[in-house]
Structures are given as structure tokens and as C-alpha cells.
Chains A and B, each alone.
Chain A
């Protein structure tokens, strides 16, 4: 949220070009995030022991699950942006929503693709229409549609209003993906924290080694990664807004 406050949000609000210079906090945050992701990878690839049943492919779990939570974090930011835009009609909140969706979509793609690659040696298939997988795919498609539909609306105010409502409603697909194992207990998707569903295949024990490697990754991908990326995406969108504003100004002269 502080990223939104610090950033110039439109040419009208902050015309000075000096504002485009990357804030020191963001530079520092970016460096910290890169180092943290590297640390998480070291924990996943070298610290955590090899799963005796699944082999080394199990290590992808340390990116698969955290990336989903990172997507959740980013999509939550889009809900905040959507709600706040509808309340205040300030462009900066719509910018936050857009940034949240774009970053969340990338992270959920990471989640989906790493899951499919893990499934190939463990489930002997790249994809199966299991409830959890299907809901995750629906989630990704829903947010991809957000970006496409958003670009299809010419009027700025209408576009932002539509996008805000869409981003608020779309979070239902994220919650559904999280809750689907309660609704459809026949899922074969394993659950690591807590007991797995009866039909789960490819589950493994959350030993102390697994937890020690998972926790930092979860923390990094849930907070640092989406926050840093969303902030960078907001900066980009601010420039987009400024260019559009100046174009309109120039054309009206």
C-alpha cells in the first residue's frame, strides 16, 4: 500500500520527472527480494533432503506452493485496489488492481506449470481434470480474461469501474481453489499442511527439513516477491497514465 502512496499516479498529480527515478526503498527492496529468492532456492535445492518416494522432483514443491500464495497475495491486492477505486474513484487504486492481477497471473502460471511438470513423473500424466487442478486453471483463465477484457474498453472511467468489479468478483476463483478440497474431497491433489484427502496421490510427510525449507520460501513468495513486482508494475502503469494524459493534452491543443 505504501508503494501506491509513494508513487506519482498521474501527470496532473505529480508532473515532476524526478519522481520517476526509482525510490531507494524500491531499489533496496528489489535487491533484498533477489537475495531472498536465491536463499529460498538454496534451501529448496540443497538444504532440504531428497524425498525417498518421489525423488528430486519433490523439490519443486518449494516453489509450487509458495508461488500460489504469492499469487493469492497479488490477487488480494487487486481486490483492495478494486474496492478502494469504487469507493474513492482515484486512479491509483485501479493501478494497484491492474498491477496485482498481472503479477498474480504470472505467479499462478508458475504454480500451474510447476504442478503439471511434477504430476508427470508422480501421477504419470501432465494433466488430469481433478477438482483442484481444474479450479486452478479456471482461476488463471479468469485473470487472463481480466487483462483481455480490460483492454477492450475504450472509455477510461468505464474501464476502471468494470475492472474493479471484475477483480473483486474474480477473487472467488482463488478462494474456490483453496477451498475445493473441502467441497470435493475426492481430489487426488495432496495436502501437505494437515491430513491429505483419502484419494491423494504423491503426498509426503512435512518433516522438520521440509518445514525449514518451506517456511522461508513461503514467506518470500507470499510477501517480498509480489510486493516488489507489484510496486514495479505500478511505476510502469504510472508512466502509461502520464503518456496517455500528455497525448490527450497534446491532441486537444
Chain B
């Protein structure tokens, strides 16, 4: 009987220990997110990841995402530039003149590294989005390639996203923050107008037709302009969160539908690994304090009790 009770008792205990595994194995009320191929940077100091756009060839290296689309004649680069890679003299000049241009210098360095030539700056600006300050720059290379690039400075590193359009004409992307309307919202039309002024300054550009088009990433304001430099000119704009996102095309190819989606897939999917090491140190300190407090209390109480015991035994002998 005792043997049977012991077995029953042991079984109950075993079940108690198995419970944690059972609790973790709940398949109900859950959803499995779709698998999106991601590029993951390898440098542990400057981690980031970006989604690989569908249909683009992944030519990435260890710490540099590089996607190529032959049909669009376009390339996307996402990489991190260590601040140390920019010369001290340049940094001091930038700091003295305009600290905000540090991101711009980073973009230029990246474009120079990739294109092996000094690009011509066409336009640059600063925008503040929900995920921090971004520097935007548009460059022209000698062979006619236009480069739209964004940079964010974090922890002594510059995170750069660059879109190289090697197709004839222009293909540009801008993030604008024009005056808000009476309802406190951004008007896509205002964003487009501001963008057109920025990149085609000096030109009088009035749209021939305006329309709203539904693309895979939402409704966009669509403006068709008279041809510029004998090439068709069109622009789309969308108010999204704290800015108006604008895509301008001055070329023969109909790139807007595909390229804007691809570019913004990378831009919005880009995730920079947060720096939160101080919280890790805080947590490790907390663990150490709790465990040391427990162990120290056991040791101290034990020592004190041993003294008490010795005293009581001495008193007992004397008595």
C-alpha cells in the first residue's frame, strides 16, 4: 500500500514538472505571420534588416543590402557608414557650418563609394518622421544616373538607403512636410507641388490632369504634366503619417507603379536594431543584487546563529 502511494505521489510530482511544457504548447488563438525574406546585417555593432523586394535579385554583402532589378534598371543599397569612415577634417567643417549636414556627408560618401565618382548634388533637405530625423539628398551622376538617398545618424553611425535609377530621364522620391490644411492634415497635392519646385526649380509646372490612382500601397494623387526635355513627366503623392511621400518620373518607362512600391517597401520595412545595452546592464545588476542579497543573508544569518549557538551551549554548561 505504501509502495502504491509513493508511486502515486511521484507521478503527481512528475505531472507538476511537466506542466510548464504543456503551458507553452498552445496552438489555438494564434496566427503565423507570413514569411518575408529579409536581409540581415552581420556586423553586431550596426545591426539592421530590410525586406528583400519581390522580384529583385539579392546581391547583398555582409553588412550591405544590395537589390538589383534589371527590368527597371534600378538598384537599392542599404548600408551603414561608420562615422569613423568620414575624415576628421570633413567632420569638423560640417560641425562648424551645419551639424545637420553630417547625414548628407554620409550619403555623399556612400554614393561616391558605389559610383566611384563625385556626384552632383541636386537637392537636399531634412525631415522629421516618427522614427527620427532623416536627411534626404538627390544626386546626379555623370552618366545621367539619378540617386535618391536617405540617411539617419545613430550612435556614431550613418544608416543610408540609396536608390539608383539608371534608366533614361529622372526617377526621384521625396518626403515633404508642407503646410497642413485647415483640418490639420497634409494635402498630397501640396506635397507634390513642393517636391516639383525643389527638383525642377525655375520651371513653371502646372499639371495637365490630376487624378487619384489606387496602387498596392494605397490611394495616390496622380498628376500628369506637359513633357519636359521631350520626356513625359508625372508625379504621385500620398499623405502618410507625418509627411507626404512623392514620386516623380520624367522618362519613357512607366516605373511609378512598381518602383515606388518597391522603394517604400524597403524604406518602411527598414529596421535599425535599437541600442539598449544600458537596460541589459541594469537587468544584470538587478539579478546580481537579488542573488547576492539572498546568499549574503543566508551566510550572515548562519554566522550569527553559530555565535548564538556557542553562547547558549556555554551558558548551558555553566548552568
Contact = CB atoms under 8 A, between A and B. Distances in A.
A55 B282 contact: no
Given A242-B309, A250-B319, A233 B298 contact: yes
A86 B32 CA distance: 48
B315 to A, nearest CB: 6
B19 A182 contact: no
A246 B293 CA distance: 28
Given A60-B280, A120-B279, A197-B30, A181 B291 contact: no
Nearest to B315: A250
B283 A60 contact: yes
B286 A114 contact: yes
B279 A117 contact: yes
A203 B94 CA distance: 41
A67 B28 CA distance: 27
Interface string B280-319: 1011101100110111001001100110110011011001
Interface string A172-209: 00010011011001000001111111100000000000
B109 interface: no
Contact of B17 (A76, A109, A229, A250): A76
B24 interface: yes
A215 interface: no
Interface of A: 20, 49-57, 59-60, 63, 67, 69, 72-73, 76, 79-80, 83, 102-103, 106, 109-110, 113-114, 117-118, 120-121, 171, 175, 178-179, 181-182, 185, 191-198, 229, 232-233, 235-236, 239-240, 242-243, 246-247, 249-250, 253
Given A56-B280, A117-B279, A197-B29, 14 more contacts: A50-B273, A52-B47, A55-B273, A110-B291, A113-B287, A114-B287, A182-B26, A185-B29, A194-B27, A198-B31, A229-B298, A232-B298, A242-B309, A246-B316
